[in-house]
Amino acid sequence: MTPAAATARQYGRLAAPDVAAGLGAGSVLCLPIGSVEQHGPHLPLNTDTVIAEQFTTRLVERYGDHHDLWALPAIPYGLSLEHIWSPGTVSLRVASFMSLLDAVVGGYVRSTPARTLLIVNGHGGNRGVLEAALYELQERYALAACVIHPSSLSAFRSEGELPEIHAGHRETSLMLALAPEDVHLDRLPVDFSADGERRGEIDRLVLDRGATWPWNSGDSAIGACGVIGGDPRAASPDVGHAIVESALDSAAGVLTQLLPHRPQWPAFVRSSHGPHPC
């Protein structure tokens, strides 16, 4: 990626008159959202924000001209209460997250003609609230909107004894590809172990779709050193690049479905949300 390509279509680099000249009703605003939370002793607190920002930059670089995409400045905070036990973690509450997101999106609606929003989410803990937020944002601002989760969007899968939840083999590989200077594998203790026997508790506490629990990444039953997943020391930048490229390929279909116009509400909804005529 050339320096020019990496900075093109970056909303924050525009001057005020450029907004009216460069953006239209069909423009797609790409909003990265991350977190500030522990990622083991080897990854930085802003890992999720780095992944969201870097993926957004690459998405805009690949598809920006065709779909009129614009990369917005990232929201660097998310819902991280599962990591609040650790020094460095800063978490919003659900109400403050929703208020911040509403204020940011509302600001773009007021100050630009764009009415299409693509949120690029780098933190798994944001997923649930973003799913609910989409309905409110769509209704309040008449937006076409969706959320993509780059790692989940990728079809690339690496086999391991443990599911990749947090700061393990997969996420470390992503950071080795995107920000290798911030990865410090030598800080993992020599006796670190990604024990396969933790899988049962990970499945029960984190992945079970039948029951939801307020799990804690400091719980030794599901992780070690705040890592829940495969051994980060086996990570590689090649795996990280493969994840990113696969996610970028998959994003083409998402962008095709994300039509650049306001939702077409039925007449009875447009008229003060009256009762259904049937």
Calculate what percentage of the chain has a pLDDT beyond 90.
Answer: 88
Burial class (CB in 10 A: 0-12, 13-18, 19+), 114: buried
Distance between CA 188 and CA 83 in Å, rounded?
18
Residue 69: its H or E element: strand 69-71
Q: Is the pLDDT of residue 35 over 50?
A: yes
Mean pLDDT, residues 24-39 taken together: 97
Q: Is the pLDDT of residue 274 over 50?
A: no
Q: 22-31, 155-164, 246-255: lowest mean pLDDT where?
A: 155-164
pTM given for the model: 0.92
At 263 the pLDDT is 56
At 5 the pLDDT is 54
DSSP string over 14-28: --HHHHHHH--TT-E
Mean pLDDT, residues 257-269 taken together: 59
At 66 the pLDDT is 95
Percentage helix, strand, coil for the chain under 3-state DSSP, each rounded to 5? 50, 10, 40
Mean pLDDT, residues 180-191 taken together: 97
Q: Which of 145, 146, 142 is nearest to 265 (CA)?
A: 142
Mean pLDDT, residues 170-179 taken together: 98
Q: Is the pLDDT of residue 268 over 50?
A: no
DSSP string over 138-200: HHHH--EEEEE-HHHH-------SS---BSSHHHHHHHHHH-GGG--GGGS-TT----GGGHH
